[in-house]
Structure 1
Amino acid sequence: MTIKDKLALPTAEEVAIAQECSREISAYLETGGETQQIDISARDGKKHAISIPTRALSLLADILAQLGQGNAVKIIPIHAELTTQEAADILNVSRPYLVRMLEQGEIPHHKVGRHRRVRYQDLMDYKMAVDARRSSALDELSALSQKYDPEY
């Protein structure tokens, strides 16, 4: 499988299969234990029981749910370091705009040679803070709208 294949949107068949698998896993997911047993069938028809961490199985269900909605999925380790382009893509901003944010100290970063790197967790912390401010501003606007125009 090439990198292009890994980042491609799922086909209609893959979407249908992912939807069904996501529902099946979610229905049987037991969140109480640390691990769960699942059976995997080999091509020769033999079944193999394996023990999988419950967190990993839950993550698999989430991945399948996203694929079932027709989304491509990329897994990034929390401690991963991102290039400025990868970070910009996650925030849905241009790379030059992200670089300005880094230079203004809005998001922590460091340099490797002359290239900037952003920790994934720092980027997510920034994104959550921005989302919280945005949500608060929307709540405030909604309250003002109801106060001054009670018909809404």
Structure 2
Amino acid sequence: MPKLDASSVPTTEIDILEETRDKLPEGILRSALETLSHALRGGEDMFVIKPRETLTPSEAAGLLGISRTHLYKILDSGAIPHHVVGSRDRRIAATDLLAYRARMFEAQKRLAENRAHADEADHLALDEFD
């Protein structure tokens, strides 16, 4: 899984990327180049993952921003499908990892929304006592 290190990309190349992006019609490719150029200008590193690619636990944990130990717990729970290579090495399909990541973000979003609604209800209840 190649990592695009933002600090190693000259601003002149980002300028060219943006010029190319601006020549494209609205669509998924233009959107991808826009995301890439914004990330690089902001100093964010990027990973290039092919849908059929498989990842090592270290790579997967890095993409999720968690420890490898925690990832093994998630794998053992069955939340992310994986397969064993050799006697014990595991591999995770990039599509399965990204699907888990999307579910995780959606759950976090719902939790935050529920908490916000609960806070709002608490404030309304307190207003009744004023």
Of all paired residues, the percent bearing the same amino acid is 27
CA distance change for structure 1 residues 98 and 91 in 2, over 3 Å: closer, same or farther? same
- 1:16–1:68 contact (8 Å) kept in structure 2: no
**CA separation in 1, counterparts of 2:109 and 2:34?**
28
Amino acid at match of 2:19: E
Across the aligned residues of Structure 1 and Structure 2, the Cα RMSD in angstroms comes to: 2.6
- 2:21–2:33 contact (8 Å) kept in structure 1: no
Amino acid at match of 2:93: R
2:51 aligned to 78, 85, 90, which one? 78
Q: Deviations over 1:2-44 (max 9, x none)?
A: x8xx654325x824652x3454334332137xxxxxxxxxxxx
- 1:22–1:62 contact (8 Å) kept in structure 2: no
Aligned to 2:103: 129
CA distance change for structure 1 residues 16 and 66 in 2, over 3 Å: closer, same or farther? farther
Name which structure has the greater RCO, CA cutoff 8 Å, separation 6+.
2
Q: CA deviation at 1:58?
A: 4.6
How many residue pairs match? The answer is: 123
Aligned to 2:25: 30
**CA separation in 2, counterparts of 1:22 and 1:128?**
28
* Aligned-partner SS, 2:79: coil
**CA separation in 1, counterparts of 2:108 and 2:56?**
26
* Aligned-partner SS, 1:93: coil
Aligned to 1:14: 10
CA distance change for structure 1 residues 58 and 147 in 2, over 3 Å: closer, same or farther? closer
**CA separation in 2, counterparts of 1:15 and 1:142?**
41
Q: Which has a greater percent of strand? A: 1
Q: CA deviation at 1:62?
A: 2.9
**CA separation in 2, counterparts of 1:118 and 1:60?**
26
1:100 aligned to 50, 54, 73, which one? 73
* Unaligned 5+ runs, structure 2: none
* Unaligned 5+ runs, structure 1: 33-53
**CA separation in 2, counterparts of 1:66 and 1:148?**
39
Q: Which has a greater percent of helix? A: 2
